[in-house]
Amino acid sequence: MIQYPQIDPEIFRIGPLAIRWYGLMYLMGFISSMLLVRQQITKKRLVLEKDFVETLYSYLILGLLLGGRLGYVILYNPAYYIEHPLEIPAIWQGGMAFHGALAGTIIAGLLFCKKAGADMLLIADMISVTVPIGLGLGRIGNFINAELYGRVTDVPWAMIFPGEVLPRHPSQLYEFFLEGVVLFIILWVSRERVQKGTVTAMFLILYGIFRTVAEIFREPDVQIGYILGFLTMGQILSGIMILAGIGVYIAAWKPKQGR
């Protein structure tokens, strides 16, 4: 068994203001994504309106926050928030769902690209290839927060998380590796070699597969548990994500096949 490294979730505090590692990970993920999207736009010599990237990401951040929070409220803990509706906006108390955040960013991105007259699939590909960076950093933030940990196990690398008495899988690190490192490498290497829209499809399909695998080791949400006795909510939503990715892939390649 490996000793869980006790890391203070707060980097520093000034009065009531606390700077936390998890928030820093989000910030680093967005900055990295913006820089890489700007680099891809420059490389492709796309002519876009001034401040395109900055405005795009203001839409995406808003979509992520709204989608992530509403996704958690509706999919993971609706009973609690029906009784406590005033707590729905309290993002600082925790409770964000990745699949809801994904839906929110897709809607926000589509709205902005339509408004700006930009190629939606091309921009989606540029963004998709950078998303694993934020995902990986987010999982490191989960690990530091000692949250979303894995199921009880006796593997040699198991850890006892704060407040727990039994050793568990450090599933946050599994997700960091699969959803962050591996997914980024695959998408980044493939981005110049495939049909437009394929990178977005690959992201949806591969993330869905990696998340489904990771959920085997991750402790289900206590308020939901298993669905149908063996599935987690994350696996069900990831299955929908895989199907959506297959749909995007077919749509991206259909014009080429018809020529």
pLDDT along the chain (259 residues), means of 10: 89 86 91 95 89 95 94 91 90 82 95 94 96 96 93 96 94 98 97 92 98 96 88 95 96 64
Classified as helix, coil or strand, 13 is: strand
Contact 31, 25 (CB under 8 A): no
pLDDT at 121 (0 to 100): 93
Q: Which residue has the tokens 């930009």?
A: 118
Q: What is the spatial distance between Cα 199 and Cα 3, in angstroms, rounded to a whole number?
A: 38
The candidate with the shortest Cα–Cα distance to 133, out of 208, 35, 255, 16, is: 35
pLDDT at 255 (0 to 100): 58
Tell me the pTM: 0.91
Beta strands in the chain (DSSP E): 10-14, 17-20
pLDDT at 259 (0 to 100): 46
pLDDT at 256 (0 to 100): 54
Q: What is the spatial distance between Cα 131 and Cα 111, in angstroms, rounded to a whole number?
A: 19
Q: What counts of helices (H) and strands (E) characterise the chain?
A: 10, 2
Q: What is the spatial distance between Cα 131 and Cα 32, in angstroms, rounded to a whole number?
A: 9
The candidate with the shortest Cα–Cα distance to 124, out of 102, 108, 109, is: 109
